[in-house]
Structure 1
Amino acid sequence: MATQLGATKSPTELVISWEALPDDFQLEDEPVENTGQPILAGALRESLEISGFIQPQMLIASNFGLCATVNGQFIVKAPDWLYVPCVNQVLGERKSYTPNLEGDVPAVVMEFLSDNQGEEYSVKRTYPPGKWFFYEQILQAPIYVIFDPKVGLLEFYQLENRRYELKLPDENGRHWVDSMGLFLGTWQGTKEARTGYWLRWWERTGNLLPWAVELIEQERQRAEQERQRAEQERQQKEKLIAFLQSQGIDPNNLPID
């Protein structure tokens, strides 16, 4: 990989450098291909945020431009979801991100398949290169995830010897993401009026990282259980009082230990 402002030739004779985008460079506004993609990406972030995983130095974003300069031409690709462990400078807002120059290379990039399939698997190396080629050969992101939300198919690729290798899930159908210390897997259910397959995070212990709506439901169930326990205690107390009174005993006169 090239280091910050320097350039290097890859085995495919590409000259790659990591430079700041010119102020007058117009980033393409890639449209979101369907309404499900932002919901899927937001759900991934939400559970991480609730669990306290996200730290200020991290960059977690969706449909966000990753930049590189290849053979003198700026390249920008916007994955549906990405995770960068550490950036050099914590900013409130970013228009784009240039790895190596501004911080770590993204440890995880994800694409959610839509009706317009093909770009996620494109190994086209001529300008503009395909997403697969960009993530694998230019960015060299350690993990590339392709998820088909319609059927719940999760493809988990790991970079080995500059090539993505498909990895099989464990016995629970999950993949270990070492850079995050979490498992990634699929889950089926309903959130935000969308019923179907989702990507979810699990802790090493197997605990599922919850969404806010799930925490609310857990608290509702806990409160209901507490209400039922208090009601049972009240009924038992009333029965005891009734029994004592039937025996001619005034409960108020009972000795207190």
Structure 2
Amino acid sequence: MYNLPSEDAEEPGLPDEFHDLQPQLLSRTMRLTNYSYERIFTGSDLNLYYDVRHTQWYKRPDWFLVLDVPRLYEEKDLRSSYVVWQEGVNPFVVVELLSPGTQKEDLGDYAELEPMFEETTAEELSGISAESESSNGQTLKEVPPRKWDVYERILRVPYYAVFSRYSNRLRGFKLEGGHYQEQTLDPENPRFWIPELNLGLGVWVGEFEGITRQWLRWYDSEGNWILTDTEQAVKETEQERQMKEQERQKRLKLTEKLRALTPEQLEALGINQEELES
């Protein structure tokens, strides 16, 4: 049952539970110091319309970040999609989560088979051209470009990350000279730094929403993982508990010191011995 296909490639929808949880963690650990919450937008599995000449063409990034746009569409309503030519701002970061059969779509010529992926057909690994031709050479219809080509050549997204939950491999790409260049990441501790955000993406082992595994999440300039709102609340509660315990220990130590004093010494300090014993 587990090996049955989980998604019809022609229909919208998430391919698995990981594609629901991972984008949540990315959004909840996104903390930007140069932009207020009201001036950034993060989307996941949302239609991203990218070409005004083909208004029905769209991609559905697993997660993306747009800077310096209103959090709400026209500052008053939730977005049902992101239309680039209306918004006037392209995504700054896109994250794709690899699924079996999506390597070429997500990685273009950088595509490699993942260890747990089933064998990819030659057709899947071949490039998708702008047009499809019949056997007699006649053009049948235009075919939308791959995600890789949309992000690199049309939207020119500055930073692109791809993560596989099967191999737990993070790959980071930076747009340089109009083309994506893969960045060298430490295979033992992969970190993909984005200086304009003063943040980076890394692979973290821990529990999120009750699931312990390797996750993609943001870290700060000191290498610390950025906490979710829930983790921050737990941390603050624990810090408050520790402060109260420290104060209690201080009071106990002071009381013990005072009890060791003679009645005359206590009287000189203005302390009533009966109050000390109570």
Bin of the TM-score, shorter chain as denominator length: 0.7 to 0.9
Helix, strand or coil at the partner of 1:169? coil
Q: Which residue of 2 aligns with 1:40?
A: 22
Instruction: Quote the RMSD (CA, aligned, Å).
Output: 3.0
Match of 2:229 in 1: 212
Residue 54 of structure 1: how far off its partner (Å): 4.5
- Deviation per CA, 1:126-166: give whole Å up to 9, x if none: 31322212222222212211111343211111122332211
Q: Which residue of 2 aligns with 1:151?
A: 167
Q: Are 2:203 and 2:214, in contact at CA under 8 Å, matched by a contact in 1?
A: yes
Q: Which moved more, 1:74-83 or 1:48-57?
A: 48-57
Identity of aligned residues (%): 27
- Aligned match of 1:168: 184
TM-score w.r.t. structure 1 length? 0.75
Q: Which consecutive residues of structure 2, in runs of 5 or more, have no partner in the other structure?
A: 1-9, 109-126, 131-142, 272-278
Distance 1:185 1:223, change over 3 A: same
Segments ≥4 residues shifted beyond 4 Å: 49-54, 70-73
* Unaligned segments of structure 1, at least 5 residues: 1-27
Q: 1:234 aligns with which of 228, 251, 256?
A: 251
CA deviation vs aligned residue, 1:213-249 (integer Å, no higher than 9, x gap):
32123223312322321232232234234323xx5x2
SS of alignment partner, residue 172 of structure 2: strand
The equivalent residue for 1:60 is 42
Three-state SS of the structure 2 residue aligned to 1:159 is strand
State the one-letter code of the partner of 1:151: S
For 2:106, give the aligned amino acid: E
Three-state SS of the structure 1 residue aligned to 2:51 is strand
Q: Which moved more, 1:164-173 or 1:130-139?
A: 164-173
Q: How far has the Cα of 1:182 moved from its partner?
A: 1.5
Question: Letter of the aligned partner of 1:120 in structure 2?
Answer: D
2:156 counterpart of 1:136: no
Q: CA offset at residue 108 of structure 1?
A: 0.9
1:111 maps to which of 75, 96, 106: 96
TM-score, normalised with respect to structure 2: 0.70
Residue 275 (structure 2) aligns with: none
- 1:60-119 per-residue CA deviation (whole Å, 9 max, x = no partner) reads 111111113376563110101011113374342122222244221111111112345433
Q: Distance in 1 between matches of 2:145 and 2:259?
A: 83
Partner of 2:107: 121
- 2:218 is equivalent to residue 201 of structure 1: yes
